Structure 1
Amino acid sequence: MKPSVEKTLARIKDTVESGAYYEAQQMYKTSYHRCKARQQLDDAATILQEGAVTQLSHGQATCGVELGMLLVEAYMSAGTPAESDSVGRVLAILRAFPPPDRTAADAGQEKAASSAAASASVSSRGGVTAPVVDEYARLVATAIKWASKSGAVLSARRIHSAFASYLWRSFGAEGIGRALLHFVRGEDAEEFAEALHSCAQQGPPGEVDLWLLRAVLQVLSAATSHSRMAQLAHARALYDAFVARSPPLDTPTAHFTELVLLALEHVALSPRAHDMFVLARERYSDGVLRRDDCLGPLLERAEALYFNVRRGGGGMGGALGGLLGDLFKTLTEAQ
């Protein structure tokens, strides 16, 4: 950073700390445009990053998001790839999102705990509807769009994980539905498992395995034709991390979850992988898949993505044999 830029940022920071947030915002934007006009693009990006982080650290969500949006839009306009340095700037802004008012958050979490205990349901809709979170989500969505359009799949996953972490750490069980939308597309299986397991513990003990199955199927169903293997690896990592936090899950639902993962992991290794998948679905259709109405559609989506097969296309096509047959037998004989 040039000494002149350092002095500029220090002067604007003093303005922020004096409480003149609007004036500081205009100073950040003016300094950014000056650097951009001189083709000092790295300095221009630094000003926006530092400005956004400083405003957010003082609780100025709208100002911080505005500067963050300006940075991402500048990257999109210039065709800047979502690489380590550029994504690092965006992640620094996302990680500066201030937590909500603690008193309100504690009250909300107590309310959410009661709700989770009653339903133990992983929903695709969150309980967090605060306008400030919608502002953050707007910046996150724009950043993900930028990363995805530049083909930076890993960068997009890092952005998803950063926002999922914010939602979980800030709102706990109350925010799990909204956080889930990002956890399933992220890269941090450990924190995902931590959040999922914590919420599951607030519900009926008999539904812990159901939380895991739903989440695994949601991860698999969030895949695209280009991200199938990454999502499968994420689902496996989530499964392993969740199981490591729980007593042995020796239940039909847990075994079905493992069978689905094994079948998908053998897609490239055996032509019988789809047979195993269909057998598992048929074997557990009554006892497991009827536990939640969302399971069937999620399973169909996974089948279409990984096997390019739509339901209603025929039977199993023959008995399982070899390795896949042994795996299926081992996991089902105990039932």
Structure 2
Amino acid sequence: MSRERIKRELPPVQEHIDKLRKVIEEGNYYGALQMYKSISARYVTAQRFSEALDILFSGACIELEHGLVNCGADLAILFVDTLVKAKSPCNDETLDRIRCIFKLFPRVPVPPHLVDVSDDEDVQNLQESLGEARSRVENLTSFLRAAIKWSAEFGGPRTGYPELHAMLGDYLYTECPELDMVRISRHFVRAEDPEKFASMLVNFMGRCYPGEDDLAIARAVLMYLSMGNMKDANFMMDEIKKQAETKNPELSESDLIQFISYLLETLQRDALPLFNMLRVKYKSSIDRDQLLNELLDEIAERFYGVQRKNPLQGMFGDIFKMMG
């Protein structure tokens, strides 16, 4: 059948949307999922992308509203794939749809009574709860990573639309059972919201193990600096200090935090010898995390033109590229 004939024979899209909504309301969630996929594919084949997007957006929202995260995520990812096929520009209308889908992903904290497990049933319940949380995070991550990549390719900033990074960073921080602060920070430094990033780090200071807080702050500052973003690095550090004055716990006075403070001052002038001296003096603190050394090498190259001896050390930037 020719594409033109398919194009003529396809009914108005609202008929499909109404029909599929009824299928879901009758409880046939997975059957509806397959129908959403097959029907939207017909519109894509006919290059009626706008209508295919209407179907997929409706399906993702309805499935998520009914608590079917896997089904909703499948359609959400297919929605973004169709944006790419249609070469849809990154604009407010499409971003609003992505926001709507994002808000429908559930936020379900681990029940407090499951944290202190005392018998086999509690252990099983906790394992199930954690497994569901991991699945939600993986689904949301796949959707937003695809959206970030689409936004970068079709009119947004080179590293992706900042708000999408903020959405993903926030969800990872609040919903992921095992916090990965490096991963979270990589998104927040792209989010263009250092005040929110500072608030998240202050919150982390109150829930992390001893010695993790200063590392998280140092990584965040160095990530900003490795991008040449002195303004947000300084703003975030000042905001952390300000917020920490009114909340517990207080900001750590560790050697690593001292190093970060001196570094921010040093980078405001042409002072490569002082930069190198600081790295030597605080080597034991910096060596607590190899990523700090990699970021400092990138900072030296960006601010002082120092070429890295090992070209593989540019992994941080490469990771950002892979993230989309």
Q: TM-score of the superposition, structure 1-length normalised? A: 0.67
Map of 2:218 onto structure 1: 213
Q: Of 137, 154, 164, which aligns to 1:159?
A: 164
2:81 and 2:274 mapped to 1: Cα distance? 47
Instruction: Tell me whether 1:139 sits opposite 2:143 in the alignment.
Output: yes
Moved more, 4-13 or 154-163: 4-13
Map of 2:234 onto structure 1: 236
Q: Once the 2 structures are TM-superposed, how far is the Cα of residue 21 of structure 1 from its aligned partner?
A: 0.6
Q: Of 259, 263, 275, which aligns to 2:262?
A: 259
Q: Once the 2 structures are TM-superposed, how far is the Cα of residue 307 of structure 1 from its aligned partner?
A: 3.1
1:51 and 1:249 mapped to 2: Cα distance? 46
Does the Cα contact within 8 Å between 1:167 and 1:176 map onto a contact in 2? no
1:7 and 1:206 mapped to 2: Cα distance? 58
2:113 and 2:302 mapped to 1: Cα distance? 40
C-alpha distance 69-205 of structure 1, shift in aligned 2 (>3 A): closer
Map of 2:73 onto structure 1: 65
Q: Once the 2 structures are TM-superposed, how far is the Cα of residue 52 of structure 1 from its aligned partner?
A: 0.8
Does the Cα contact within 8 Å between 1:82 and 1:155 map onto a contact in 2? no
Q: Any unmatched runs of 5+ in structure 2?
A: 1-11, 118-130, 310-324
Supply the AA of the counterpart residue of 1:256. F
1:311 and 1:298 mapped to 2: Cα distance? 11
1:38-53 matches, within 5 Å, as: 40-53=48-61
C-alpha distance 106-35 of structure 1, shift in aligned 2 (>3 A): farther
Map of 2:243 onto structure 1: 245
2:209 and 2:37 mapped to 1: Cα distance? 52
Supply the AA of the counterpart residue of 1:14. K
Map of 1:25 onto structure 2: 33
Aligned length: 279
Q: Any unmatched runs of 5+ in structure 1?
A: 112-126, 313-335
Supply the AA of the counterpart residue of 2:150. W
C-alpha distance 65-204 of structure 1, shift in aligned 2 (>3 A): closer
1:129 and 1:24 mapped to 2: Cα distance? 24
**Post-superposition CA distance 1:26-68 (Å, at most 9, x none):** 3433553455466554343232222112212222122112212
Map of 2:188 onto structure 1: 183
Q: CA RMSD in A?
A: 3.6
Supply the AA of the counterpart residue of 1:183. F
Does the Cα contact within 8 Å between 1:83 and 1:155 map onto a contact in 2? no
2:302 and 2:113 mapped to 1: Cα distance? 40
1:79 and 1:291 mapped to 2: Cα distance? 45
Supply the AA of the counterpart residue of 2:200. A
Moved more, 57-66 or 254-263: 254-263
Q: Of 149, 152, 158, which aligns to 1:148?
A: 152
Q: TM-score of the superposition, structure 2-length normalised? A: 0.69
2:64 and 2:55 mapped to 1: Cα distance? 14
Instruction: Tell me whether 1:305 sits opposite 2:302 in the alignment.
Output: yes
1:11 and 1:249 mapped to 2: Cα distance? 56
1:45 and 1:273 mapped to 2: Cα distance? 54
**Post-superposition CA distance 1:76-121 (Å, at most 9, x none):** 1222222222233223223322224643x8746x79xxxxxxxxxx
Does the Cα contact within 8 Å between 2:213 and 2:252 map onto a contact in 1? no
1:271-282 matches, within 5 Å, as: 272-282=270-280
Aligned-pair identity in percent equals 28
Does the Cα contact within 8 Å between 1:72 and 1:143 map onto a contact in 2? yes
Map of 1:54 onto structure 2: 62
Supply the AA of the counterpart residue of 2:106. P
Map of 2:122 onto structure 1: none
C-alpha distance 291-87 of structure 1, shift in aligned 2 (>3 A): same
